[in-house]
Amino acid sequence: MTSNKTVLILPGDGIGPEVCNEAKKVLGHVNSLHNLGISMQELLVGGSAYEKFGKPLPEETLTAAIESDAILLGAVGGPNWDNLEYELRPERALLGLRSELDLFANLRPAILSKHLSDSSSLKKDKVQDLDLLIIRELTGGIYFGEPRGVTDSGNSAFNTMIYSKKEIERIGRVAFEAAQKRNKTLCSVDKANVLEVSVLWREVITNLSKEYPDVELSHMLVDNAAMQLVRNPKQFDVMVTGNLFGDILSDIAAMLTGSIGMLPSASLNSDNKGMYEPVHGSAPDISGKGLANPLAAISSVAMMLKYSFDLNEASKSIEKSIQEVLSEGYRTHDLEGAQNKKLTTSEMGNKIIENLK
């Protein structure tokens, strides 16, 4: 079976190249194992691109991203570039790619492997079998709203939180459809007691729910949602929210699973073209030491095969291999476990491939 798909790999900065290397190895192995016909290209993005080209998102990278069928991103940023002008910072590449490719739907699963219950910061009974999906609107809201800036005097700064009905509706559809495929419950998170934007958000989501009578919709204020995620996370199945709230809530959910190094993400456009990336940052403090956990990047490849390429069997084979390796007691350094079963970044990648054979 060949599909002739192209994947652009953007390793980025810090531990990005290390985890991307393992994800690339796994993708290459699955590609040949299942004869998927996927070709890969690798280019610079973020701080590494700035060092070579003077900009975090070079034209060559953007063009290749537009032409590819899916993108695997490592991580961008680091203290080396913190003092650059706003437009030149590595993180601008990320916002640029999301905006240019219209990757408006961010899917952030928070799944706790039964083999890692002891690694969570919450009590075992609170997180055992946790399987939660947060859907975050990614190209609107306060991160992109205009006007924005700093006043001439430099004494104040301003950002604009803005959403249109159309933007809310399209992320709402993604969320309702995801809920239909899962447990048919959806919690929409907003701040409707204070923000006009959230009043509109709640109104649009409520109206949209009439088209999905099989999905039970609830609404929750964001401060309560943050508390409930820590108090009783298993009450949620699918959550949908705006850009700012989704950024914060998905990181809270990430820590419920024992390590942020375990979690993948997908950012999709309306054609299911996606950029896939681990949710962890560039972690420059552990860069080059073989300590990074590549499982989030490898899981991101599994999401890519599922969402952009509709290759469910190949996707499941990667997820199964990860669970088998964890069940055998192998861990990277961010996970609790027996010292004699601790693996380096590349050893973990090799172990996943070993179990795929």
Task: Please give, one letter per residue, the 3-state secondary structure of 77-96.
Answer: CCHHHCCCCHHHCCHHHHHH
Looking at the structure, tell me whether residues 86 and 18 fall in a common domain.
yes
pLDDT for 254-278, tens place per residue? 878 877 888 899 999 999 899 999 9
Domain limits for position 198: 131-256
| In-domain check, residue 192 | yes
Structure confidence by residue, pLDDT tens digits, 160-207:
999 999 999 999 999 999 999 999 999 999 999 999 999 999 999 999
- pLDDT for residue 83: 94
Domain boundary among 256, 273, 300: 256
Domain CATH number, residue 351: 3.40.718.10
Domain boundary among 211, 228, 256: 256
User: Does 90 share its domain with 162?
Assistant: no
129 is catalytic: no
| Angle, vertex CA 134, rays to CA 130 and CA 136, nearest 5 | 170
295 Cβ contact list (under 8 Å, min separation 6): 261, 262, 322, 332, 348, 352
Spell out the residues 6+ positions from residue 231 whose beta carbon is closer than 8 angstroms to its own: none
- Catalytic pick among 126, 165, 184, 247: 247
Predicted local confidence at residue 220, as pLDDT: 98
What ranges in 5-150 are assigned the alpha helix state H?
Answer: 16-33, 47-53, 59-67, 91-100, 124-127
Distance CA(143)–CA(301), nearest Å, equals: 27
The total number of structural domains that make up the chain: 2
Distance in angstroms (rounded) separating the CA atoms of residues 13 and 75: 6
The verdict on whether 143 is a catalytic residue reads: yes
User: Is residue 82 annotated as a catalytic residue, yes or no?
Assistant: no
Catalytic residue among 55, 234, 251, 342: 251
pTM, two decimals, is 0.89
Residue type, 199: V
13 catalytic residue (yes or no): no
Selecting among 131, 223, 271, 310, the annotated active-site residue is: 223
Q: Are residues 105 and 14 in the same domain?
A: yes
Q: In the annotation, is 55 catalytic? A: no
Same domain, 55 and 144: no
Of residues 50, 143, 163, 276, which has the active-site annotation?
A: 143
For residues 40 and 103, membership in a common domain is answered with: yes
Quote the strand ranges of the chain, DSSP E: 5-12, 38-42, 70-75, 105-111, 131-137, 149-150, 157-158, 185-190, 216-221, 238-241, 266-268, 274-276
